[in-house]
């Protein structure tokens, strides 16, 4: 059963929420609706998480459902697996992207493979929330974009919201999913605001969304770079360029249908992400869109990404992160006729 099969709950009055508050509301509503949802991780209890995404949940649900765990990411994910095997729906937090690496083995060898290994007898309905990517002036290990590791792993569902409405809707859907979900929360968007009538429901989380229609170029982004893509599209108007912005929302699965249709319409595409280019997620996007739509393409698919270097220190990150100007310059390298 997914969220979208259930009866809609009464809609509350509209309120202005940040993405962090929308995520908080999603967990709170999920915990109110389903007593099997439990939350644990580092500092998620009385502190409410270092980004305050779990603020107030400890007070409402108590120690038995919201708890600070020992400081060990493999332990957090490993024990979540055991809880999911016993009928709970754990929602766990990796405090920062680069701190999820100690849990890599549990995620790749067990979270991803348990259902297949047991021929579907053991499902792991758990959500691993990972605040990810940069543009927050973070010191080393606080700004990684590690999505390619997870997206390359069969058995994982990998999603990333770019706005508060999706944050709420997609997290509710992730928690109610019977598949394990890597939920990438773009840190730089935690404070983005929107007016929402909860419980807001956007499109199913395994689909991409066309956020802005255009006719000349499909600009594909996800998570933190969706804002950059929208800003680029706005700037491009003055240059007489009509950019269609596609927010992938789901990295695994990839919505071939929606993205392919957009690319066939515009005949040009570029993909935008913060992570390094080599072996990055953009390579998969470019390859599969080319394979499937080659005869509709007027130009090679471009990747506008971070450089192939470790994420830089705060004073240097502005040179690393793709900007609208950099995107427009890249689009200018195509031959336009």
Q: Which listed range, 21-29, 76-84, 213-221, 275-283, lies at the site for another protein (CB under 8 A)? A: 76-84
Instruction: Work out how close the CB of 36 gets to another protein at its nearest, in angstroms, rounded to a whole number.
Output: 9
Nearer CB in complex with another protein: 123/323? 123
Residue 86 near residue 115, CB atoms below 8 Å: no
Q: Which residues contact 122 (CB under 8 A, 6 or more apart)?
A: 85, 114, 115
Least Å from the CB of residue 202 to another protein: 17
* Both structure tokens of 81: 């697996």
Mode of pairing for the β-strands spanning 181-186 and 217-221: unpaired
Which residue number, 55 or 284, has a Cβ lying nearer to another protein? 284
Q: Does 258 bind another protein (CB under 8 A)?
A: no
Residue 82 in the binding site for another protein (CB under 8 A): yes
Confirm if 211 and 163 have CB atoms less than 8 A apart: no
Nearest-angstrom CA–CA distance, 308 and 310: 7
6 sits near another protein (criterion: CB under 8 A): no
The smaller minimum CB distance to another protein, of residues 17 and 159, is found at 159
Q: Is 142 a catalytic residue?
A: yes
Residue from 163, 177, 225, 228 touching another protein (CB under 8 A): that is: 177
Evaluate whether 274 touches 318 at the Cβ level (below 8 Å). no
Among 25, 30, 81, 331, binds another protein (CB under 8 A): 81
Strand 127-132 relative to strand 89-93: parallel, antiparallel, unpaired?
parallel
Longest dimension (CA), the chain: 64
User: Using CB under 8 A, which of 52, 123, 261, 323 touches another protein?
Assistant: 123
Following CA atoms 275, 280, 284, 290 in sequence, which dihedral angle do they give, to the nearest 10 degrees? 80
| Contacting residue, 75, 264, 296, 298, with another protein by CB under 8 A | 75
Q: By CB under 8 A, is residue 83 in contact with another protein?
A: yes
257 contributes a contact to another protein by CB under 8 A: yes
Interface with another protein: number of residues (CB under 8 A): 49
- Taking the complex as a whole, the smallest distance from the CB of residue 151 to another protein amounts, in Å, to 12
**Which residue in 141, 142, 273, 296 is the catalytic one?**
142
Cβ atoms within 10 Å of 318's Cβ, excluding its own: 11
Q: Distance between CA 280 and CA 277 in Å, rounded?
A: 5
Alpha carbons 330 and 307: distance in angstroms, whole number: 14
Task: Give the CA radius of gyration of the chain.
Answer: 20
Rounded distance between C-alpha atoms, residue 163 and residue 194, angstroms: 8
Please report, as residue ranges, which positions from 91 to 120 form the binding site for another protein (by CB under 8 A): 102, 105-106, 109-110, 113-120
Can you tell me whether residue 157 is helix, strand or coil?
Answer: strand
CB of 58 to another protein, least distance (A): 15
Identify the CA nearest to 138 among candidates 225, 50, 71. Answer: 50
Per-residue binding letters, 267-306, with another protein (x by CB under 8 A): ----------------------------------------
Supply the residues annotated as catalytic.
142
Binding site for another protein (CB under 8 A): 2, 38, 64-65, 69-70, 72, 74-75, 77-88, 90, 102, 105-106, 109-110, 113-123, 154-155, 157, 177-179, 206, 253-254, 256-257
């Amino acid at each position: 059963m997914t969220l979208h099969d259930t009866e809609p709950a009464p809609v509350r009055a509209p309120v202005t929420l940040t993405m962090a508050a929308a995520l908080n509301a999603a967990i709170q509503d999920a915990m109110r609706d389903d007593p099997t949802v439990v939350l644990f991780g580092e500092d998620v209890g009385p502190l409410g998480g270092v980004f305050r995404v779990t603020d107030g949940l400890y007070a409402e649900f108590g120690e038995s459902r919201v708890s600070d765990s020992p400081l060990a990411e493999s332990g957090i994910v490993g024990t979540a697996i055991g809880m999911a095997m016993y009928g709970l729906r754990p929602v766990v937090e990796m405090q920062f992207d680069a701190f999820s690496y100690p849990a890599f083995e549990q995620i790749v060898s067990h979270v991803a493979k348990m259902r297949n290994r047991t021929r579907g007898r053991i499902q792991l309905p758990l959500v691993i929330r990972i605040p990810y990517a940069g543009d927050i002036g973070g010191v080393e290990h606080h700004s990684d974009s590690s999505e390619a590791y997870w997206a390359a792993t069969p058995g994982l569902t990998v999603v990333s919201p770019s706005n508060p409405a999706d944050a709420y809707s997609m997290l509710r859907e992730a928690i109610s999913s019977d598949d394990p979900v890597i939920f990438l929360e773009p840190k730089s968007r935690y404070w983005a605001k929107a007016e929402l009538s909860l419980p807001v429901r956007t499109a199913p989380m395994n689909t991409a969304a066309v956020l802005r229609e255009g006719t000349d170029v499909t600009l594909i982004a996800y998570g933190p770079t969706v804002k950059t893509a929208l800003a680029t599209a706005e700037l491009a108007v003055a240059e007489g360029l009509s950019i269609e912005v596609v927010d992938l929302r789901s990295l695994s699965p990839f919505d071939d249908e929606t993205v392919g249709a957009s690319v066939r319409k515009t005949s040009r595409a570029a993909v935008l992400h913060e992570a390094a280019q080599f072996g990055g997620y953009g390579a998969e996007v470019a390859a599969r869109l080319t394979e499937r739509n080659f005869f509709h393409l007027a130009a090679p698919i471009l990747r506008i990404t971070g450089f192939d270097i470790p994420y830089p220190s705060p004073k240097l990150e502005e040179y690393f992160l793709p900007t609208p100007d950099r995107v427009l310059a890249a689009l200018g390298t195509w031959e336009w006729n």
